[in-house]
Amino acid sequence: MRKMSNNLAVLAVVGCAAAAAVVYQQAGRTAGVGSGPFAGDEKRQQMNYSKSMYDIAPLPRERVAELAKKLDAETYRVTQKAGTEPAFCGTLVDNKKEGVYCCVVCGLPLFSSEHKFNSGTGWPSFYREFDPQHVTRKRDESHGMSRVEINCARCGAHLGHVFDDGPKPTGERHCLNSVSLKFHEKGTELPPESRPAAFETAYFAGGCFWGVEHYFQKGPGVIDAESGYMQGRTEKPTYKQVCNHDTGHAETVKVVFDPKRISYRRLLEAFFVMHDPTQLNRQGPDEGDQYRSGIWYTSDEQRKTAEAFVAEQAKSPRFAGRKVVTQVEAAKTFFAAEEYHQDYIAKTGGVCHVANPW
């Protein structure tokens, strides 16, 4: 959920049906809102994505155990038992190739050749991490020394230690065990576990966008939901133009999601719980073609899934005797709605006719 704008003063709050009559005073715009996924760092962190957009949700212990089974004895000793390989023996000490160094256990990128330097210690050394959020630090008082241990943020694998005698600009020396790392040379294809999260976008029109946006935003695996206008004839429509039926747009919610965490099919199911797909050009108290029911697909795969889903729902007992009128169309341009429509329910504490599907 995006952060509420401090400058937004709602002078009057009424129900969805009378949206056009709501009077607002808007003095500013929250930075980043409407600029796509992750309008705020807060939401990104809540969802466990790093700044460089990798999934860094800590892996469950059972998953780590499963991955660790595939390691050879030395790699297991170092990564799972905080061991240290002998100096000058690791395979990556003298590696000067360009590329990325990933966790040998879970594949998360941890260091880059860009930041590698010759420390003369006999262990691969870097002056910074690929992304600081990919490497965690903890105090290590073992072996009569006071050091800072570094671990993979996703799977907890032991990597080595970090010292404060490195070169500029950080002054840090990340001292690594070669066996903790898997090197991928620049230009080679990275395995899926070493790639950033790939998000997908879906669009749903189900009446007033306030409630639809509110509940999609709560969906597990949904990165961001945003209110806007779509499938009309004009560019950059305003709320007033859409209300006057001048443009043919439908109030639409753009949903950016991680398909690894939630499926498109699950979003469709939620959408059909949220709104009534048998109401033609209206939804709850709101009337007009801007409140039509629609699924605007962004890929052929989405089209197939949406068409099959709508056909299946049309035959389900839930809609017996009533016609499902949901349109399935290729997505045209999405125009973000005015700032005062974004996160409306969260900002105002208002209620909508939309049902919670989660």
173/164 Cα distance (integer angstroms): 6
CB atoms within 10 A of CB 26: 13
Among 39, 56, 106, 212, binds Fe ion (CB under 5 A): 106
274/29 Cα distance (integer angstroms): 29
Interface segment toward Fe ion; rule CB under 5 A; list 65-73, 106-114, 208-216, 288-296: 106-114
- Establish if 64 lies at the interface with Fe ion (CB under 5 A): no
Of 245, 231, 217, the residue nearest 352 (C-alpha): 217
Among 39, 135, 157, 324, binds Fe ion (CB under 5 A): 157
CB-CB contact of 293 with 277 (8 Å): yes
208/354 Cα distance (integer angstroms): 9
Residues with Cβ within 8 Å of residue 138, at least 6 apart in sequence: 148, 149, 151
Peptide bond into 169 cis (omega under 30): yes
Among 44, 134, 154, 347, binds Fe ion (CB under 5 A): 154
- Establish if 134 lies at the interface with Fe ion (CB under 5 A): no
In the complex, least distance from residue 181 CB atom to Fe ion, rounded to whole angstroms = 10
In the complex, least distance from residue 67 CB atom to Fe ion, rounded to whole angstroms = 8
42/7 Cα distance (integer angstroms): 19
- Establish if 179 lies at the interface with Fe ion (CB under 5 A): no
- Establish if 150 lies at the interface with Fe ion (CB under 5 A): no
CB-CB contact of 14 with 346 (8 Å): no
In the complex, least distance from residue 80 CB atom to Fe ion, rounded to whole angstroms = 11
- Establish if 16 lies at the interface with Fe ion (CB under 5 A): no
- Establish if 197 lies at the interface with Fe ion (CB under 5 A): no
Q: Is 152 a catalytic residue?
A: no
In the complex, least distance from residue 100 CB atom to Fe ion, rounded to whole angstroms = 13
Residues 86-105 close enough to bind Fe ion by CB under 5 A: 103, 105
33/13 Cα distance (integer angstroms): 22
Q: Is 175 a catalytic residue?
A: yes
Catalytic residue among 102, 106, 175, 352: 175
Structure tokens at 35: 């600029």
Q: Which is nearer to Fe ion, 152 or 222 (CB)?
A: 152
In the complex, least distance from residue 98 CB atom to Fe ion, rounded to whole angstroms = 22
- Establish if 155 lies at the interface with Fe ion (CB under 5 A): yes
Three-point CA angle 185, 188, 192, nearest 5°: 110
Structure tokens at 319: 């809609």
In the complex, least distance from residue 122 CB atom to Fe ion, rounded to whole angstroms = 23
Catalytic residue among 152, 208, 243, 352: 208
User: % helix / strand / coil in the chain, to the nearest 5?
Assistant: 25, 25, 50
- Establish if 158 lies at the interface with Fe ion (CB under 5 A): no
Relative to beta strand 24-26, strand 8-10 is antiparallel
Among 152, 159, 176, 253, binds Fe ion (CB under 5 A): 152
- Establish if 47 lies at the interface with Fe ion (CB under 5 A): no
Q: Which residues bind Fe ion (CB under 5 A)?
A: 103, 105-106, 108, 152, 154-155, 157
- Which amino acids are annotated catalytic? 175, 208
